[in-house]
Amino acid sequence: MLKNRIIPCLDVKNGRVVKGINFVDLKDAGDPVEQAKIYSEGGADEICFLDITASNENRDTIYEVVEKTSKKCFVPLTVGGGVRSVDDINKLLNCGADKVSINTAAVQNADVVYDSSKKFGSQCIVVAIDAKKKGEMWEVFTHGGRNKTGINALEFAKKMEDSGAGELLVTSMDRDGTQLGYDIDLMSKISSTVNIPVIASGGVGNLDHLVDGIKLGNANAVLAASIFHYGKYTIKEAKEYLKSKNVLVRL
């Protein structure tokens, strides 16, 4: 049987991890390579890097990080943040990323998704959707949640599937950072709208939230950042808990 994936996400800025794992025995707590290694050795099913480097001059640092990490981590590596073009995707894949997640560029121009999935295969194209509840619908936001678009998230999800996305990474902006749990309604509606896998993101504060994301939100994978970074739970603890709640995981 296919297992549900647990994906820790690391924010990387100027080549360094921000809000890193709080382990005392780390030689260099800001080193993304070392942290990714800890996660993969702990049983992470996939590692996600989100590049939050603000300035263009420092963009190249993420390539170095990906290159180094992919030589040490033998689980899938997804990289997102600031991906604008087919050329950006190509560079990240060449450095050793297995998948690239596209956010703002996918909203601005669906051809980026279409062209890159044709060129590299759908398996490496993840579309990241940031959505916020607005009345009865969810609205898509871009630029790291700063700009509203007026686009309905469910319609956009379908459009991205049709354009060739292999997976959707769905973040609830209402829940992100709140530790109140995923927006289950949003996850389950998107999951039933598309036939490609959905990764739930935004709002995890405890392990029951991961269970809910899969069981109630029908997500195929759950992404979390802070519960793992601060050493609140290890990946193994999370997976054991999920297993005890009858969620299929790789242990």
The verdict on whether 11 is a catalytic residue reads: yes
Q: Is 130 a catalytic residue?
A: yes
| Number of residues that this document lists for the chain | 251
250 Cβ partners below 8 Å, 6+ apart? Answer: 3, 43, 45, 239
Out of 11, 45, 51, 183, pick the active-site residue.
Answer: 11
Residue 96 interacts with another protein (CB under 8 A)?
yes
- Each residue 187-206 as x (binds another protein by CB under 8 A) or -, in order, gives --------xxx---------
CB 218 within 8 A of CB 187: yes
Q: Select from 159, 113, 165, 156 the least CA-distant residue to 138.
A: 156
Nearest to 196 by CA among 223, 170, 175: 170
Least gap, CB of 72 to another protein (angstroms) = 8
| Minimum distance of another protein from residue 41's CB (angstroms) | 9
CA distances from 152 to 7, 155, 182, 186 (A): 26, 5, 19, 11
Q: Does 158 bind another protein (CB under 8 A)?
A: no
Distance separating alpha carbons of residues 218 and 213, to the nearest angstrom: 6
Residue 91: what residue type? Answer: K
Site string for another protein, 206-225 (x = CB under 8 A): --------------xx----
Residue 76 binding another protein, by CB under 8 A: yes
User: Of 31, 51, 98, 130, which is the active-site residue?
Assistant: 130
Environment class of residue 164 by beta-carbon count within 10 Å: exposed (0-12), middle (13-18) or buried (19+)? buried
Closer to another protein at the Cβ: 39 or 182? 39
Rounded to an integer, what is the distance from CA 106 to the centroid of its chain?
A: 15
Whose Cβ is closer to another protein: residue 60's or residue 147's? 60
88 binds another protein (CB under 8 A): no
Q: Which is nearer to another protein, 153 or 222 (CB)?
A: 222
What residues are labeled active site?
A: 11, 130
Contacts with another protein by CB under 8 A lie at 1-5, 40, 45, 70-71, 74-76, 93-98, 119-124, 166-167, 195-197, 220-221, 250
